[in-house]
Amino acid sequence: MTGTGDLGRRLIHHRERLGLTREQVAARAEMSAGYLQYLEEHADMTETGSLHRLADALGTTMDELLGGGRDRPPGRGPAMAHPSLEVLSEEECRRLIAPGGIGRVAFSGSHGPTVLPVNFKMHRGAVVFRTAYGGPMDQDLRSGVAGVEIKIAFEVDRIDEARREGWSVLVQGAAHHVPEEEAATAAGCEVTPWAGGERHLYVRIVPQQITGRRIHGL
């Protein structure tokens, strides 16, 4: 798919996000699966009517498919008419974050409250991410006392602007800096840093408490 353009990549992203096949999306959008495949694999644009039907079929907007919302924070639209806030069980929270992805680490840093995004994986029941030796999450998350680890917060969320729904999971636990002799085991989760660069320090958070909320319509 060397010719795939931005539209094609967004179509694939939203289809896979929903766990749908090309045939299922094409049926929803009232078009052939072959035409949808062509749009996903070529850097071509389609007419407005087809794009609108695709947006509806994928639970998103034409603006999002065209990349219009790339530089805007999510959740700018109004709330749904009758939103309902659901408390999630720990089992459901673990299920939601099991695939890994992007999360946010929150801690009290040397310059005050700090929140940083990281790419993470779940490995043996723990959150694992990579950071740089000598960076803020290396220095600020060390207590300086043997056997004593700093408790931090880790948050993951998913916002669906088109449906005005979403969920958020909060993990609280101690930040364990994986020593070099254990790095090979931690590397088994195959987590890669979103920001790239020399980030060879693995940090593991063993959850002490997991809570979550989901907002949806009645």
The pLDDT of residue 146: 77
Q: Which residues contact 183 (CB under 8 A, 6 or more apart)?
A: 200, 202
Domain annotation covers residue 123: yes
CB 143 within 8 A of CB 107: no
The pLDDT of residue 95: 95
* Shared-domain flag, residues 105 and 188: yes
Residues 59-90: b if buried by 16+ CB within 10 A, e if exposed: bbbeebbeeeeeeeeeeeeeeeeeeeeeebee
Q: What is the DSSP letter of 172?
A: E
Task: Select from 184, 169, 10 the least CA-distant residue to 100.
Answer: 169
* Shared-domain flag, residues 117 and 205: yes
* Shared-domain flag, residues 22 and 90: no
* Shared-domain flag, residues 14 and 107: no
CA-to-CA dists, residue 168 to 85, 94, 162, 204, angstroms: 11, 11, 17, 20
* Shared-domain flag, residues 17 and 125: no
The pLDDT of residue 2: 44
* Shared-domain flag, residues 49 and 137: no
CB 34 within 8 A of CB 28: no
Q: Which residue has the tokens 């498919």?
A: 65
* Shared-domain flag, residues 134 and 205: yes
Q: What are phi and psi of 132, to 5 degrees?
A: -95, 140
Is the full-model pTM beyond 0.85?
Answer: no
Residues 3-22: b if buried by 16+ CB within 10 A, e if exposed: eebebbebbbebbeeeebeb
* Shared-domain flag, residues 189 and 143: yes
Give, for all 218 residues of the chain, the pLDDT tens digit: 345 578 888 899 889 888 899 999 999 999 999 999 999 988 677 788 899 999 999 988 888 888 766 666 666 666 666 788 899 999 999 999 999 999 999 999 888 999 999 999 999 899 999 998 888 888 898 877 877 889 999 999 988 766 678 899 999 999 999 888 887 888 888 888 877 778 889 999 999 999 999 988 65
* Shared-domain flag, residues 90 and 186: yes
* Shared-domain flag, residues 39 and 135: no
The pLDDT of residue 1: 39
Range of the domain at 43: 6-65
* Shared-domain flag, residues 101 and 149: yes
Q: Into how many domains does the chain fold?
A: 2
Domain annotation covers residue 100: yes
The pLDDT of residue 72: 65
The pLDDT of residue 183: 79
- How far apart are the C-alpha atoms of 64 and 120, rounded to whole Å? 25
